[in-house]
Amino acid sequence: MRKTNRSIVLIGFMGTGKSAVGRLLALQEGWPRFDTDEMIATALKMPISEIFVRLGEDRFREEETAVLKKLEVVAPSIVVTGGGVVMRPENVARLRELGSIVCLTADSATLLERLGRRSNRPLLQTDNPAETLQTLLREREPFYQEAADFTVDTSSLSHDQVAQSIRDVLALSN
């Protein structure tokens, strides 16, 4: 499934390991890495959690689309996205231009366990995070599937194994 000179775009729900795997792939391939959440936080000069509280989700989504539009990718790169990016068709169209879209998944028990370790996901700051997670997952799953070129289930894999699976599918060097 080799696509020469094409970037790798990581999509998927919160807690599937996009950021860590993105860092690893960038290091292993010696490619630049772009993380839309990091870019939004830099542009608005505040952490994502604060953006949600002070400016609201709608503003965050506007900014997410704006950073993707502005993204200048001149060489094969790793592009890491936030979990909600697939909900806007224009974002998905932009991601497709950039390269191969890889969706990371995990079963909901694994996600809850991983996400429970930290409280930095504004969308899960609800009375019942487990239920919120299920609702969001159900709503988003078809969008992830529609956008992805291929999917890697990370539930029982280390970050290294996930990165390796992606390199195997894309026939990248080890």
Contact 11, 1 (CB under 8 A): no
Task: By CB under 6 A, tell whether 37 contacts ligand S3P.
Answer: yes
Nearest to 79 by CA among 32, 24, 19, 9: 9
Strands (E), the chain: 7-12, 33-35, 78-80, 99-105, 150-153
Task: By CB under 6 A, tell whether 48 contacts ligand S3P.
Answer: yes
3-state secondary structure of 43: helix
Toward ligand S3P, which CB reaches closer, 43 or 171?
43
Stretch that binds ligand S3P, among 22-30, 80-88, 149-157, 161-169 (CB under 6 A): 80-88
Nearest to 146 by CA among 96, 74, 75, 77: 96
* Residues that contact ligand S3P, how many (by CB under 6 A): 11
In sequence order, what are the residues at sequence separation of 6 or more whose Cβ sits closer than 8 angstroms to the Cβ of residue 109?
none
Query: Which of the residues 82 through 101 are near ligand S3P (CB under 6 A)?
Result: 82-84
Stretch that binds ligand S3P, among 22-30, 101-109, 117-125, 161-169 (CB under 6 A): 117-125
C-alpha pair distances (Å), 23 with each of 27, 28, 34, 47, 94: 6, 9, 9, 19, 21
Toward ligand S3P, which CB reaches closer, 5 or 132?
132
Q: How far is the CB of 174 from ligand S3P (least distance, A)?
A: 26
Toward ligand S3P, which CB reaches closer, 14 or 24?
14
Residue ranges binding ligand S3P (CB under 6 A): 14, 18-19, 37, 48, 82-84, 121-123
